[in-house]
Chain A
């Protein structure tokens, strides 16, 4: 667990970057610090690995004050990923990834073997190993950055806008892999972003900062969307927070109608719908709503694990379902 205890950072000249921050980042979870620029989120993040010193207050990792630990040794135990990756231009991809294990005294051979495994883990084939960072796309560099941060298997990862510098399609892919990796690895992650959608998608806990370095609200993404603490948070999470909160609702209990209700529903030989968007029980209500809205007939088709259609949902079924749910849980 990472703990901020009444942390203040005032820069020379008097501007307050972080104003009495107290926050706990739970072990094994992703905590996303999010807020507008100048809200002190990055400054706070960089206190975890002592890149920034608090003016007062303490930052503790598992109860130990980071200020009392050797800087370099502390940092070798904390994976660090930044925007644009910050890769070493003079080292191959493989040697970039091997950096921290080498610092920790592992042999070059061992570090390189491990690095090769890590590249695969972040979705890069071995052919990238011998390339230099300048030969990679932004998305590939970011993957190498993640692999480099993971190389010494640190329990903690600090990520500063790790996915901000890539285009939306690439970012989408990186998000998926991030969630997949984190499911396997269960690191304690502190991440900074200015993008509330990213925070809600990736965070187990979301900490929303406001200008002047004050914490506005901490909670699960669901809590923050459902019950914003004040107008600032409501405004920051956005007007469509109702729609977005549907991402956390499973489509598993959504009642469906028989396929026969739609006369012209076209299925292929295997029984898969043609020309209609489809969802499974594992998808979210947000996807179902989206499908129902874009479908000219106003329906979304449910499919089973093999992609075979087994029911349909109409617009008003969704409305009824949400209304019923609201009655159940006021």
Chain B
């Protein structure tokens, strides 16, 4: 094991770097897209249920199918990392748009009403009051999306781009246990660290939710 690690440090680190980028970039993109979509689901109550349904359908598409199918739609090369980024962004949006909508809907109506009565205009009320109060719900969704993305990236190895997943394919091809073990451990550790990071940020920015 030690020998494998020391002989392949560069390969492992490169895979890890790629894994981080492929998993987390879609979280950022997806979150940015999900915010306005989720808000629409609250602002226009009729949109909410269709939104929830569409998100459910999107999330149920098998990831491998999406990885293979996207190049056809996007015109990208089958081996382009862009396919993974777009696919995982779609999953993130599907998860987070609903979470954002549910988070905003969870804000006590007394709170939004008193904000309005105090003279908040709609946008500032959203930024200053509704989003901060919805944060615990939204961040819970963000944790789920982040961890899900980190595990999904590995599937990309089957089409040649998969961060730590490439260690699995290599291990299977060579009947060699070490890369598989390293890949599993690194992947779990990465998910744990990312999850912990979000929890820490949450503790920092929502101290009120723990009182």
**A: which residues have CB within 8 A of B?**
49, 51, 72-76, 78, 80, 82, 84-92, 99-100, 103, 131-132, 134-135, 148, 158
Q: Mark B88-117, 1 if CB is under 8 A from A, else 0.
A: 000000000000000000001011011111
Q: Is B118's CB under 8 angstroms from A80's CB? A: yes
Partner of B117, one of A80, A85, A87, A135: A80
Q: Knowing A51-B113, A84-B110 touch, does A89 contact B118 (C-beta < 8 A)? A: no
Interface size class on chain B is 20 to 34
A residues less than 8 Å from B119 (CB atoms): 72-76, 100, 103
Nearest-CB residue, chain B, relative to A51: B117
The distance from the CB of A90 to the nearest CB of chain B, in whole angstroms, is 5
The distance from the CB of B45 to the nearest CB of chain A, in whole angstroms, is 15
B residues less than 8 Å from A49 (CB atoms): 117
A85 to B115, CA, bound (A): 11
- List 11 interface pairs A-B (beta carbons < 8 Å), by A numbering: A72-B119, A72-B121, A76-B118, A80-B117, A82-B117, A86-B110, A86-B111, A89-B208, A90-B129, A90-B132, A103-B118
* Chain B 168-211 residues near chain A, CB threshold 8 A: 206-209, 211
The distance from the CB of B112 to the nearest CB of chain A, in whole angstroms, is 9
Chain A CB within 8 A of B37 CB: no
Q: Knowing A76-B118, A89-B133, A90-B133 touch, does A82 contact B208 (C-beta < 8 A)? A: no
B residues less than 8 Å from A158 (CB atoms): 117
The distance from the CB of B127 to the nearest CB of chain A, in whole angstroms, is 12
Most-contacted residue by chain B among A72, A91, A132 (CB, 10 A):
A72
A300 to B169, CA, bound (A): 96
Partner of A75, one of B116, B129, B133, B135: B116
Q: Is A88's CB under 8 angstroms from B110's CB? A: no
A residues less than 8 Å from B117 (CB atoms): 49, 51, 75, 78, 80, 82, 158
Q: Mark B109-153, 1 if CB is under 8 A from A, else 0.
A: 011011111111100000001001101000000000000000000
A158 to B211, CA, bound (A): 30
A103 to B108, CA, bound (A): 21
Q: Is B211's CB under 8 angstroms from A135's CB? A: yes
At the interface, is chain B mostly helix, strand, loop or mixed? Answer: helix
The distance from the CB of A308 to the nearest CB of chain B, in whole angstroms, is 49
**B: which residues have CB within 8 A of A?**
108, 110-111, 113-121, 129, 132-133, 135, 206-209, 211
A residues less than 8 Å from B110 (CB atoms): 82, 84, 86
- The 6 lowest CB-CB distance pairs between A and B, nearest first, are A86-B114, A76-B119, A75-B119, A80-B117, A86-B110, A132-B208
B residues less than 8 Å from A88 (CB atoms): 111, 114-115, 129, 133
Most-contacted residue by chain A among B115, B119, B135, B207 (CB, 10 A):
B119
Partner of A99, one of B118, B121, B207, B208: B118
Q: Is B208's CB under 8 angstroms from A90's CB? A: yes
The distance from the CB of A317 to the nearest CB of chain B, in whole angstroms, is 51
A96 to B108, CA, bound (A): 16
The distance from the CB of B202 to the nearest CB of chain A, in whole angstroms, is 12
A residues less than 8 Å from B113 (CB atoms): 51, 82, 86
A131 to B208, CA, bound (A): 9
Q: Is B132's CB under 8 angstroms from A51's CB? A: no
The distance from the CB of A138 to the nearest CB of chain B, in whole angstroms, is 13
Known: A87-B111, A90-B206. 11 other contacts (CB 8 A): A51-B117, A75-B119, A80-B117, A86-B108, A86-B111, A90-B133, A90-B208, A92-B208, A103-B119, A132-B211, A135-B211
A residues less than 8 Å from B133 (CB atoms): 88-90
B residues less than 8 Å from A89 (CB atoms): 108, 111, 133, 208-209
A74 to B116, CA, bound (A): 11
B residues less than 8 Å from A75 (CB atoms): 116-119
The distance from the CB of B137 to the nearest CB of chain A, in whole angstroms, is 13
A295 to B111, CA, bound (A): 49
A279 to B31, CA, bound (A): 68
The distance from the CB of B111 to the nearest CB of chain A, in whole angstroms, is 6
B residues less than 8 Å from A84 (CB atoms): 110
The distance from the CB of B124 to the nearest CB of chain A, in whole angstroms, is 8
A100 to B132, CA, bound (A): 18
Most-contacted residue by chain B among A74, A103, A131 (CB, 10 A):
A103
